[in-house]
Copies of this chain bind each other. A is one copy, B any other.
Amino acid sequence: MKIMLKAVLEDTSLYQPGLSIDCVIFGFHDNQLKVLLIKTKYSEKWALPGGFVPVDEDIDQAAVTVLNNRTGVKGIFLRQFATFGCAKRNDSDFSSIVLDFYGIPKEKGEWYTNRFVTVGYYALVDFSQIIPQQVGKNETVEWIDHHAVPELILDHKEILDKALETLRMELNLMPVGYNLLPEKFTIPELQRLYETILGKKLDRRNFLRKITAIGILVKLDEKKSNVAHKAPNLYSFDKQKYQEVVKNGLNQGW
């Protein structure tokens, strides 16, 4: 949220006032659902990667920019899920600390101390292809297991929770995996992804049946190597059909 705050304050007229973007960036590694978080130097707490919205730019585009800055990857799954506008988001103590840290005088930082509303986006990215980008010297970017998320600034925890809740719900409407797994993967890996997102165990055999019934998987003539026990078969997604299903949706209740 404070990407290039200094630069923004140089000419605040270029940015939408009182509006920010926050991204919940999910990755999958070691059977863990990871979230990309930022450790700021001006606070003990962590934060979601975020940014501001140029006045002449779509908010969706601004979210893409945030994502590119943090992950260096383009063309990934990104979806708006909610907008957060509690009045108490206006934590002037917090913004004062940030301004102090950067040595910005209060008059100049007034734009930033006003009440902010933030639009939440969540992204699904391939962990193995993303090297967290350090933006500026004053923060560290890290993948953190979603079960081990430390205290976050402001209402970022609430935003993160809502993102995960939305992702869980969207699992019923679309397949997931194309964006979170490498090109080639195994069914057990895909299953563990689902289990991790849902937070519960699934039956191996029933999972296979349901997931293949969707018609988005391509069984490769290749097995995973260097694994303990029986080598699982490798699969990849039929990108064409995958996109179709994402677009048209799965189970329609009515």
Q: Which residue of B lies closest to A13 (CB)?
A: B114
Q: Does chain B have a CB within 8 A of A5?
A: no
Q: Which residue of B lies closest to A17 (CB)?
A: B17
Residues of B within 8 A of A83 (CB): 59, 80, 83, 119
Q: Check B115–A55 contact: CB distance below 8 A.
A: yes
Residues of B within 8 A of A59 (CB): 83, 85-86, 117
Chain A 168-227 residues near chain B, CB threshold 8 A: 169, 171-173, 194, 198, 202
CA distance A46 to B247 in the complex (A): 30
Q: Chain B's nearest CB lies how many Å from the CB of A168? A: 9
Number of copies: 2
Q: Does chain B have a CB within 8 A of A56?
A: yes
Q: A18-B19, A172-B252 are in contact. Are A87 and B115 (CB under 8 A)?
A: no
Residues of B within 8 A of A173 (CB): 169, 253
Q: Check A251–B172 contact: CB distance below 8 A.
A: yes
Q: Does chain B have a CB within 8 A of A65?
A: no
Q: Chain B's nearest CB lies how many Å from the CB of A23? A: 14
Q: Check A254–B115 contact: CB distance below 8 A.
A: no
Q: Does chain B have a CB within 8 A of A244?
A: no
Q: Chain B's nearest CB lies how many Å from the CB of A197? A: 9
Interface string of A28-62 (1 = CB under 8 A from B): 00000000000000000000000001011111111
Q: Check A86–B115 contact: CB distance below 8 A.
A: no
Q: Chain B's nearest CB lies how many Å from the CB of A47? A: 21
14 contacts between A and B (CB under 8 A): A19-B19, A19-B117, A55-B115, A57-B87, A59-B85, A61-B87, A80-B83, A85-B119, A172-B172, A172-B251, A172-B252, A172-B253, A172-B254, A250-B253
